[in-house]
């Protein structure tokens, strides 16, 4: 049984990559954001997960709208980052964990999730920014990563309830994997923001804080929202909360909040960090 | 009823749904090509000709040449792809926000700060 030890939430904005590349972490704008990460880095360095299952959304690097998977999972030994067209530097390849990936994919399809299973997958800032944030200097080569990609780009998108169910199925698959490896989860993207239209710039601090509370104590409660509710309350891109909800669904045992940070705005977004410790169900 | 059949309108928001995905296919495909330096260079050399290569409508083409983000959204552009177009123009997300809301970039940034503080 693989051991699921905890989970982290974080934003994955391209501007974060540029801020790190330009060493702006200590500037007044960025400091309250980056101050949220040292406790998470410390926990990761002390607990040394072998594998990260990372929930993110593709922003038009691997998937164009010619074919748009609702849920996809990488099953490769390695993933390449590539030019996204915004001037952010590409970063070193990410190591995969194909055996556990295939085990999760098999289990998900068995449970009724019709995954797109990817033996090749270019990974964009949605996946790489969180890795750079957790291991500054892109020192993430020792960690194996399993990308789980959720459509947040083109409607119809999977809804919160479905994402929570996806997470539950992934948690069950990790528990049933015959290995002593340790696994942590990253839920990336979120919280409230809107990039497009006359309503661009919306941030709903109160809603963000409520979502963070509910993610710890009562994730089922977040399934009362439809995607349209999320858009209305938190902005067009608030549907990225679905990645955090999916992540939380995979934590099936006792969950303890070890650390939290919330800061807004970063770029156009409310940015929340949670570090959750997880005890496997007995 | 699926959530996209929900009749609620979210003011100032264009849902990138099946209608938009179809209407904006060529436009988004062009923006997708901006992932590559070759595409960015080709566009910069002949913007109108590059729009024609992807079969953009006259309205879309004019909006690209005018950098009119709101019209591009209404004509089927996805913000995820328009962002690549914006990057090519050296505009960041606050610049784009300002363009869409009719504010100056400083006013838009001030609004973000105010919203972020929950005011």
Of B15, B35, B102, nearest to A61 by CB-CB distance is B35
- Catalytic position from the list A193, A259, A263, A278: A193
For B29, the closest chain A residue by CA position comes to: A64
Residue A30 pLDDT? 96
The answer to whether residues A226 and B6 touch, using CB atoms and an 8 Å cutoff, is yes
Query: pLDDT band at residue A6, thresholds of 50, 70 and 90?
Result: very high
Q: Could you give the residue ranges of the DSSP H alpha helices within chain A? A: 14-21, 31-34, 38-47, 98-110, 125-134, 160-175, 205-217, 227-234, 241-249
Q: Does A82 touch chain B (CB under 8 A)?
A: yes
Q: Give the domain range for residue B22.
A: 18-81
Chain B, 9 to 48: residues with Cβ < 8 Å from chain A are 10-18, 21, 25, 28-29, 31-32, 34-37, 40
Beta carbons within 8 Å of A252's beta carbon, 6+ residues apart: A4, A168, A171, A172, A175, A280, A281
Query: What secondary structure letter does DSSP report for B12?
Result: T
Active site residue A278: no
**ipTM of this predicted structure:** 0.94
Residue A12 pLDDT? 94
Average pLDDT, chain A: 96
**How do residues A33-68 score in pLDDT, each as one tens digit?**
999 999 999 999 999 999 999 999 999 999 999 999
Active site residue A12: no
Query: Does B51 fall in a domain?
Result: yes
Query: Does B108 fall in a domain?
Result: yes
Count of domains observed in chain B: 2
The predicted model scores a pTM of 0.97
> Domain check: are B67 and B94 in the same one?
no
> Domain check: are B109 and B57 in the same one?
no
> Domain check: are B60 and B23 in the same one?
yes
> Domain check: are B23 and B70 in the same one?
yes
Q: How far apart are CA B7 and CA A44, in angstroms?
A: 45
Query: Does B24 fall in a domain?
Result: yes
What are the DSSP calls for A129-145, one per residue? HHHHHHSTTT--TTSEE
Query: Are B35 and A85 an interchain contact pair (Cβ–Cβ within 8 Å)?
Result: yes
Query: Are B13 and A199 an interchain contact pair (Cβ–Cβ within 8 Å)?
Result: yes
Average pLDDT over residues A222-238: 97
Q: Is B35 helix (H, G, I), strand (E, B) or coil?
A: helix
Residue A190 pLDDT? 86
Domains parsed from chain A with CATH numbers: 3-279 (3.40.830.10)
> Domain check: are B66 and B34 in the same one?
yes
Average pLDDT over residues A119-129: 96
Q: How far apart are CA A222 and CA A215, in angstroms?
A: 8
Query: Does B62 fall in a domain?
Result: yes
Q: How far apart are CA A66 and CA A23, in angstroms?
A: 38
Average pLDDT over residues A223-232: 97
> Domain check: are B23 and B77 in the same one?
yes
Query: What secondary structure letter does DSSP report for B4?
Result: G
Query: pLDDT band at residue A282, thresholds of 50, 70 and 90?
Result: confident
């Amino acid at each position: 049984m693989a051991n699921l030890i905890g989970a982290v939430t974080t934003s994955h904005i391209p501007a974060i990559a540029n801020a790190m590349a330009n060493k702006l972490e200590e500037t007044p704008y960025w400091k309250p954001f980056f101050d949220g990460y040292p406790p998470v880095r410390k926990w990761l360095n002390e607990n040394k997960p072998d594998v990260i299952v990372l929930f993110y959304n593709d922003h038009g690097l691997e998937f164009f709208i010619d074919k748009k998977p609702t849920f996809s999972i990488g099953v490769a030994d390695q993933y390449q980052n590539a030019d996204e067209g915004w001037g952010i530097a590409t970063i070193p390849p990410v190591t995969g964990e194909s055996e556990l990936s295939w085990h999760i994919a098999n289990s998900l399809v068995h449970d009724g999730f019709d995954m797109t299973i990817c033996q090749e997958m270019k990974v964009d800032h949605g996946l790489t920014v969180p890795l750079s944030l957790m291991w500054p200097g892109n020192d993430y080569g020792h960690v194996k990563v399993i990308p789980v990609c959720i459509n947040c780009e083109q409607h119809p998108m999977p809804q919160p309830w479905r994402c929570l169910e996806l997470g539950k199925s992934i948690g069950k698959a990790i528990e049933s994997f015959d290995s002593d490896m340790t696994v942590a989860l990253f839920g990336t993207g979120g919280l409230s923001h809107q990039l497009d239209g006359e309503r661009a710039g919306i941030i709903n601090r109160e809603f963000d804080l409520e979502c963070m509370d509910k993610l710890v104590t009562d994730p089922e409660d977040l399934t009362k929202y439809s995607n349209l509710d999320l858009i209305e309350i938190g902005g067009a891109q608030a549907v990225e909360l679905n990645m955090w909800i999916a992540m939380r669904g995979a934590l099936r045992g006792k969950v303890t909040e070890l650390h939290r940070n919330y800061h807004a705005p970063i770029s156009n977004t409310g940015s929340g960090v949670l570090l959750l410790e997880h005890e496997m169900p007995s | 009823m699926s959530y996209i059949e929900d009749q609620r309108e979210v003011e100032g928001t264009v849902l990138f749904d099946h209608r938009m995905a179809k209407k904006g296919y060529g436009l988004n495909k062009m923006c997708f090509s901006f992932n590559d330096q070759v595409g960015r260079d080709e566009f910069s050399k002949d913007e109108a000709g590059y729009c024609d290569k992807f079969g953009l409508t006259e309205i879309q083409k004019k909006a690209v040449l005018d950098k009119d983000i709101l019209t591009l959204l209404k004509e089927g552009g996805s913000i995820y792809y328009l962002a690549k177009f914006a990057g090519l123009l050296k505009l960041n997300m606050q610049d784009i926000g300002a363009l869409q809301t009719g504010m100056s970039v400083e006013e838009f940034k001030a609004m973000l700060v105010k919203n972020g503080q929950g005011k």
